Structure 1
Amino acid sequence: MNAPSATTTRSTPAAGPSSAPPPGPLAGAVAAEWTKLWSVRSTWWTMLSAVLLTAATAGQLAIYAANANTDDDPGVVTVGSIVIDSLELTQYVVLALGLLAVTVEFGTGTLRTTLRCTPSRGRVLLAKAVVIAAVTFVLGLVLGGVGVLVAAPVLGEGGAAPLGGTLRDVTASAAYLALVGVLALGLGAVLRSPVLTLIVLLAGLMIVPLSLQEPGIAVLTRIADGFPGVAGGHFLAGDTGPYPPVVGLLLLAAWAAAALAAGRAALRHRDA
């Protein structure tokens, strides 16, 4: 009698929900930086300060404009121009998000932990830049909305808020804040000190360009036009001279990219 043939049974793994692929190295670094940014109270306090300062500045500028608008000298002030003018002060609160994102880690020594988790220093800085650019852009939109809501009723009949122009001004303000936030991040990676970084930003965005423009010498004025604050101002105002607005935006973006490149070089050649 023939023995029954042995039957080999192979177990088949039970079908289950397919697991999502792990995030790429940059995506993981961005997620980590996103979590770190929102886990500290300074982020929330900085954003709240920016909202309150925007409301106060926009309201004050709107009052000045309304008082200057008399029957003898009637005029119409756009709400978007008030939003843009308010950036001259509020930008320094917003860019604190960028510089603190890296200088705080230098001060506390937690950057060593960050670099152990993500050894690529360039990837760490790029992830920080992505997060800061996204957060400051959205914050810029919120601040623009706050400025519009405050300035419009104060200006009254002497104010105008065309939808297209107002949206353009608010979006341009958000783009400007995103770029100066990245600029602050790059400089913070180079200088490592929040106070020193803020001083350099204040000089580069306002003090040095104004000093160059003050004498009224054409050559010095042209040099000042290349500084990030002046280039951003031409972009925000939509000036056609000395260059189109898009050139001002590109100049500001170039300064931000250069600061990031300098920050990456500093991180690669110096200990954390």
Structure 2
Amino acid sequence: MTTKTGPMSVEIGKASGGGMRGAVAAEWTKLWTIRSTYWGLAGALTLMIGLSLLMAQATVSNNTDERALEHPGVVSVSDIATGSLDMVQFVILALAILMITGEYATGSIHATLQWIPPRGRMLSAKAAVAAAVVFPSGVLLSLAGTAVAYPVLGKWGRLDAGDVVHDALMTGLYLAVLSVLIIGVGAMLRSTAATLTTAFIFIMVLPVMLANSRSELLIDVAKGLPSKAGQYLLKGDAPYPATIALAILAAWTAAALWGGITVLRHRDA
């Protein structure tokens, strides 16, 4: 993320006031004054629509092709959008990552820390802004994926208002919590590439490796990872209830933020 320093930044600080409120206002202003925010959200929407269309077409094909090994039958339309989230989430995470690592890349982190000296307040403000933006974005992404999948599925799609609302809200919640978590990781690693790579390994690769292992212990470990907890929160078909899944996500997020704040206090810029 790039930010401008100088008179404009000083005016933002004066207009916003101090404390947590001023810190949140400053982070909000920075986020919406760079093009990458708009490009990222547009990219996430485009990817969600594209993947939802492909998954809906694949479902129809598998149901109508006698040669298909699996016939999924009638599926919940909102499940298509939820399934597309495996890839879409990384576009959203990239936006959250840039909120912290982009400032280290440009050197603007020095100005940010001068405006907001308490390290915990600075990182908490970034987390609050990320959650406030990502939650409604996640809801809209889920609704968009559901909307484009419905006409493609035809008779193979089941549209239930309760499922649509539940999946949209859980998608927004999952992405918001995951974005806050990755901001904490970004504060520790400070590199966009390193943080994005860590996110991909931790969210996509490691859970699959552990879940496919022959060790019951490793399989149980996989169930406690944030991505698995997120899947259980979204799909509801889980070895533990949604409240436990949310608690696991909250615990990982709190640990990541604590780690980020600790690193900032010891070697901030």
Same fold, TM-score > 0.5, yes or no:
yes
The CA distance in 1 between the partners of 2:184 and 2:238, in whole Å, is 29
Unaligned runs of 5+ in 1: 1-21
The CA distance in 2 between the partners of 1:225 and 1:123, in whole Å, is 32
For the Cα contact (< 8 Å) 1:212–1:221, is it kept in 2? yes
The CA distance in 2 between the partners of 1:133 and 1:87, in whole Å, is 17
What pairs with 1:127-166 in structure 2 (closer than 5 Å)? 127-166=125-164
Counterpart in 2 of 1:41? 35
The aligned amino acid for 2:92 is V
- Please list every run of at least 4 consecutive aligned residues from structure 1 whose deviation after the TM superposition is greater than 2 angstroms: 70-74
The CA distance in 1 between the partners of 2:46 and 2:130, in whole Å, is 20
- 1:259 and 2:256 are equivalent in the alignment: yes
What pairs with 1:79-228 in structure 2 (closer than 5 Å)? 79-228=77-226
Identity of paired residues, percent? 44
Q: CA RMSD in A?
A: 1.6
Q: Residue 69 of structure 1: SS of its match in structure 2?
A: helix
TM-superposed CA distance for 1:216, in Å, is 3.6
TM-superposed CA distance for 1:231, in Å, is 1.1
Counterpart in 2 of 1:269? 266
TM-score, length basis structure 2: 0.90
Q: Which has the larger radius of gyration?
A: 1
TM-superposed CA distance for 1:131, in Å, is 0.2
Unaligned runs of 5+ in 2: 1-15
TM-superposed CA distance for 1:217, in Å, is 2.6
The CA distance in 2 between the partners of 1:167 and 1:147, in whole Å, is 13
The CA distance in 1 between the partners of 2:227 and 2:72, in whole Å, is 31
- 1:53 and 2:50 are equivalent in the alignment: no
> Structure 1's 207 and 240: CA in aligned 2 closer, same or farther, altered over 3 A?
closer
Q: Which has the higher helix share?
A: 2
- 1:63 and 2:61 are equivalent in the alignment: no
Q: Residue 64 of structure 2: SS of its match in structure 1?
A: coil
Counterpart in 2 of 1:12? none
Counterpart in 2 of 1:5? none
The aligned amino acid for 1:255 is W
Quick check: 187-196 or 210-219, which moved more? 210-219
Counterpart in 1 of 2:23? 29
The aligned amino acid for 2:108 is T
TM-superposed CA distance for 1:70, in Å, is 3.0
For the Cα contact (< 8 Å) 2:59–2:72, is it kept in 1? no
For the Cα contact (< 8 Å) 1:239–1:245, is it kept in 2? no
For the Cα contact (< 8 Å) 1:136–1:181, is it kept in 2? yes
TM-score, length basis structure 1: 0.89
The aligned amino acid for 2:253 is A
